[in-house]
Chains A and B, each alone.
Chain A
Amino acid sequence: AQKITQTQPGMFVQEKEAVTLDCTYDTSDQSYGLFWYKQPSSGEMIFLIYQGSYDEQNATEGRYSLNFQKARKSANLVISASQLGDSAMYFCAVGNYGGSQGNLIFGKGTKLSVKP
């Protein structure tokens, strides 16, 4: 069974500073993907970034980067130059690409608050 652990229920960061949101995962699959989603107070799920298990380079998307350490089974999200609009819940998820066609297992999330 797959599992995602996000140990930080809440985080505070000063505007314009960088912040790292932790995520560790457990999966027995050889081929899998790691995802981060942002959920603002309005409720929608916004896809941020993806890392495949065989990707050798860490994924980056604008101000978001994924610090992927496969041996440690961690996939931390780094947000550089935080903005007030980054205040939201952040969910890490793992999906395998074997028979299950990529359904995602989510962690409990981290609530990020950006202070002006």
Chain B
Amino acid sequence: EPEVTQTPSHQVTQMGQEVILRCVPISNHLYFYWYRQILGQKVEFLVSFYNNEISEKSEIFDDQFSVERPDGSNFTLKIRSTKLEDSAMYFCASTRHVGTGWFGPGTRLTVT
């Protein structure tokens, strides 16, 4: 069964460093998303991406964040200068139609 994959599973970085989180959505999906979950809290929407551009972003998704679909398969989230409060689980999700919402296994980002 096709699935969303994410790499790495765990990333440790120092404050101020840039990180890139990678996702491979399900191949025939059209809509891509990033969410984050701070430990013990709810899942929060960051950004949605469709037709090679951002379709919506939350107030969390400030200028430190960017997304890219560099080729036909990968979908990346870049954090330019990480802060301690960026420590969280980051989930990629993709959908083809409304009514589905397949999440990847997540990348745990730890900023020290």
Which residues of A pack against B, CB within 8 Å? 33, 35, 37, 43-47, 50, 52, 91, 93, 95, 97, 99-109
Contact of B102 among A47, A52, A95, A107 (CB under 8 A): A47
A52-B100 Cα distance, complex, nearest whole Å: 11
Residues of B within 8 Å of A, CB-based: how many?
25
Q: Which residues of B are interface residues toward A (Cβ below 8 A)?
A: 31, 33, 35, 41-45, 48, 50, 55-56, 89, 91, 93, 95, 98-103, 105-106, 108
A107→B42 contact, CB < 8 A? yes
The CA of A109 and the CA of B41, in the complex, are separated in Å by: 8
A14-B100 Cα distance, complex, nearest whole Å: 30
Across the interface, which residues of B come within 8 angstroms of A106, CB to CB? 42-45
Instruction: Report the separation of the CA atoms of residues A104 and B56 in the bound assembly, to the nearest whole angstrom.
Output: 11
Shortest C-beta distance, B8 to chain A (Å), equals 14
CB within 8 A of A45: which of B91, B98, B108? B91
